[in-house]
Structure 1
Amino acid sequence: MPELPEVEALRVFLDDHLVGKEVARVLPLAISVLKTYDPPLSALAGGAVTSVSRHGKFLDIGVGPLHLVTHLARAGWLQWKDSFPATPPRPGKGPLALRTVLSGGDGFDLTEMGTTKRLAVHLVRDPSEIPGVARLGPDPLADSFDRDAFAALLDGERRQIKGALRDQSLIAGIGNAYSDEILHVAKMSPFKRTNSLGEDDITHLYTALRTTLEDAVARSSGLAAGKLKAEKKSGMRVHGRAGAPCPVCGDTILEVSFSDSSLQYCPTCQTGGKPLADRRLSKLLK
C-alpha cells in the first residue's frame, strides 16, 4: 500500500509533470473506482491543472475550481504515460481503473491489482467533502507536528501503539509498513500500550517517527513514479522481511499474521527476545 512517503513522492513527481497542463479527458474504466457523480468527470475537460497536493495518503490534483482526489488503497498505483494507444481501452478489462489524458498526449493511468477493489477517485469542489479526508489527523511531517503535539495526541489513548500509529484520524499517512519500521527504529513492541508510555518513550518514539518518514521521503525524492514501489521495498528494515536477519542485531525477523494483514518485528530489538503471540491469543508467549 502506498503510504505517506510514496504519496509525497508522487505529489512531487506530478507537480512537475502536471501543473500548467490542460486536461483533455478523464475516463473511468472500472465501475468501482468513481465515488462521486456531481460534478461529472467531463467537467475536467479543457481545465488546466493548478496544483498537486497531499492529504495523508490522499493525492489531490487541482483543476481550476475542482479537485480530483485519489486514494490508492492497498493495491492501487499511478503509472505515468508519455503517450497512449489510439484505441481507447475497454472498461472492466485488467487492472486499469482510470485514465487521465492531457492535451499534449501524455497523462497517467490509475491501476489496481487483485479482486478486492478499494481504489477510490472523487471529483469534488472541496477536499473536505470527502469523509476520509475530513477525518484525517495532523500530518506527521508538518512543522507544527512537534514532540509536544505528538504527546497530546497520545494522551488518553489506551490501545496498542501499532494501531495508534495506523489510525488515520489520529495521525495521517502512516500505514502497516511504516508503523513496523518506526517501531523497529524506536526499539518498541508493536503491542505496547499507549497508556504505558513514559515521557522518554514518547520522545524516543516521536524521533523514530520523524526520522523514518523523513528518510523515506528523501530516498524517494526525484524518482519517477514507476520506481517508487521498488524503492519502498528496498528501504524496509523489518516490514515484509520475515525470516531474514535484522539489519541491526542479526536476529531473525518474526511475523504476526492477522486475517487481512501482518506485522513484522525483531524480537531482540523490540520485545526483549520474546516472540509475540498471534493476536488471536491476545498475549505474549512466555
Structure 2
Amino acid sequence: MPELPEVAGLCAFLDAKLRGAVLTKVQITSFAVLKTADPPYSALEDRTVAGVQRFGKFLGLDMGGVHFIFHLAKAGWLRYTENPSPAPLRLGSSPIAARLAFTAPPSAASDGGPAKMAFDLTEAGSRKSLAVYVVREPQDVPGIASLGPDPLAPDFTREAFDGILAASQQIKGLLRSQSVVAGIGNAYSDEILHAARISPFAIARTLDGASRDRLFAAIGSVLGEAVGSAVGKAPDELKDGKRSAMRVHGRAGEQCPVCGDVVREVSFADTALQYCPGCQTNGKILADRRTSRFLK
C-alpha cells in the first residue's frame, strides 16, 4: 500500500508534469471506484491543473473550483505516460479503473516537452478499494475531513505528540490510525517502531519520556528520509525504492541490520507486522495472535 512517502513522491512528480496542463478527457471504467456524483466527473474536463496536493495518503488535482481526489488503497497504483493511446477504454476490460488525459501548457510544448500526457489509476486483485472523488473542496471527502495531523508538518511538535500518546492503545495501531496521524501505514509503522526500539504491542500512554523522544525522532527521520528518496522518482520506480529501504518490514526470517537478530513476524486476519526482538522487545518473541483488534 502506498503510504505518505510514496504519495509525496507521486505528488511531486505529478505537480511537475501536470501543473498548467489542461485536462481534456476523463474516463471512468470502474464506476465502483467513483464515490461522488455532484459535481459530475465531466466537470473536470477543459479545466487547467492549478496544482497537485497531498492529504495524508490522498492525492488531489486542483482544477480551479473542482478537485479530483483519489486514494490508491491497498492494491492501487498510478501509471503515467507521455504517449497516451487515443483508443477509448472499455468497462471492466482491464485493471485500469480511470484514465485522465491532458494537453501540455504552451510553454512546455515550446520547450520541446510532451504535447500530451495521461495517467491511469489501476488496481490489482479482487478486493477493490481504490477510491475516486470529484468535489468542490478537498474537505468534502470524508477521509480527508477526518485526518489527524501530518507528521511532517511544522505544527507536529513534541508537545502535540504527547497528546496523541495519552491513548490507552497499542502503539502500532495508534500510528496507523489516520484520524490520529495522517499518512503512516503498516510498513512505515514497522520501520518507525524499529528505529525507536519500541515493541509494536507497547501501550502508548505507558511509554516513558525517553521512549517518547525516540519515537518522535524516528517518525521524523524515517519518514523524512523516505520522502527525500521518493521525491524525484517516476511512479514505476517508487515501489522498488520503498522495498529496498525497509529494515524489518517484509523481511521476516532475515537478519536485522542493526543487531543481527532474526526479524520476526506476527500475523493477523488480513495483515502482518514485522519486528526485531533484539532491538524492540529485549529478545522476547511476541505471540502470533491472529486477531486484528489492535489495528482498529
Q: Same fold (TM over 0.5)?
A: yes
Which of 220, 223, 233 pairs up with 1:223? 233
Q: Give the match for residue 153 of structure 2.
A: 142
Q: Give the match for residue 120 of structure 1.
A: 131
Residue 49 (str. 1) matches residue 41 (str. 2):
no
How far apart are the structure 1 equivalents of 2:87 and 2:156?
48
Contact 2:27 2:89 in 1 (8 A): no
Contact 1:78 1:110 in 2 (8 A): yes
Q: Give the match for residue 94 of structure 2.
A: 94
How far apart are the structure 1 equivalents of 2:291 and 2:21?
54
Q: Give the match for residue 32 of structure 2.
A: 32
1:83-108 Cα offsets, whole Å, 9 max, x none, are 22232121102211100001243110
Corresponding residue SS for 2:120 = strand
Unaligned residue ranges in structure 1 (runs of 5+): none
| Matched-pair identity in % | 52
Contact 1:31 1:92 in 2 (8 A): no
Which of 116, 137, 153 pairs up with 1:105? 116
Match for 2:44: what amino acid? L
Corresponding residue SS for 1:93 = coil
Which of 216, 220, 230 pairs up with 1:210? 220
Aligned positions of 1:228-243 closer than 5 A: 228-243=238-253
Match for 2:213: what amino acid? T
Alpha-carbon shift at residue 15 of structure 1 (Å): 0.7
How far apart are the structure 2 equivalents of 1:195 and 1:153?
9
How far apart are the structure 2 equivalents of 1:206 and 1:281?
27
Structure 1 residues 105 and 170, CA, compared in 2 at 3 Å: closer, same or farther?
same
How far apart are the structure 1 equivalents of 2:234 and 2:124?
20
Alpha-carbon shift at residue 151 of structure 1 (Å): 0.9
Q: Give the match for residue 273 of structure 1.
A: 283
Contact 1:162 1:179 in 2 (8 A): yes
Q: Give the match for residue 11 of structure 1.
A: 11
How far apart are the structure 1 equivalents of 2:59 and 2:98?
14
Residue 195 (str. 1) matches residue 199 (str. 2):
no
How far apart are the structure 1 equivalents of 2:181 and 2:120?
29
Q: Give the match for residue 163 of structure 2.
A: 152
Residue 253 (str. 1) matches residue 263 (str. 2):
yes
After alignment, is 88-97 or 133-142 more displaced? 88-97
Match for 1:124: what amino acid? V
1:221-253 Cα offsets, whole Å, 9 max, x none, are 211111000100111000011111111111111
Which of 177, 183, 194 pairs up with 1:184? 194
How far apart are the structure 2 equivalents of 1:195 and 1:106?
49
TM-score (norm 1): 0.96
Contact 1:141 1:210 in 2 (8 A): yes
Corresponding residue SS for 1:8 = helix
Q: CA RMSD of the aligned region, Å?
A: 1.2
Q: Give the match for residue 170 of structure 1.
A: 180
Size of the aligned set, in residue pairs, is: 281
Alpha-carbon shift at residue 281 of structure 1 (Å): 8.1
Corresponding residue SS for 1:77 = strand
Match for 1:18: what amino acid? L
TM-score (norm 2): 0.93
How far apart are the structure 1 equivalents of 2:120 and 2:231?
21
How far apart are the structure 2 equivalents of 1:86 and 1:24?
12
1:35-59 Cα offsets, whole Å, 9 max, x none, are 1011111111110000111110000
After alignment, is 139-148 or 101-110 more displaced? 101-110
Unaligned residue ranges in structure 2 (runs of 5+): 104-114
How far apart are the structure 2 equivalents of 1:249 and 1:68?
45
Q: Give the match for residue 112 of structure 2.
A: none
How far apart are the structure 2 equivalents of 1:211 and 1:86?
44
How far apart are the structure 2 equivalents of 1:281 and 1:170?
21
1:6-48 Cα offsets, whole Å, 9 max, x none, are 0001110011001100000111011211110111111111100
How far apart are the structure 1 equivalents of 2:219 and 2:70?
25
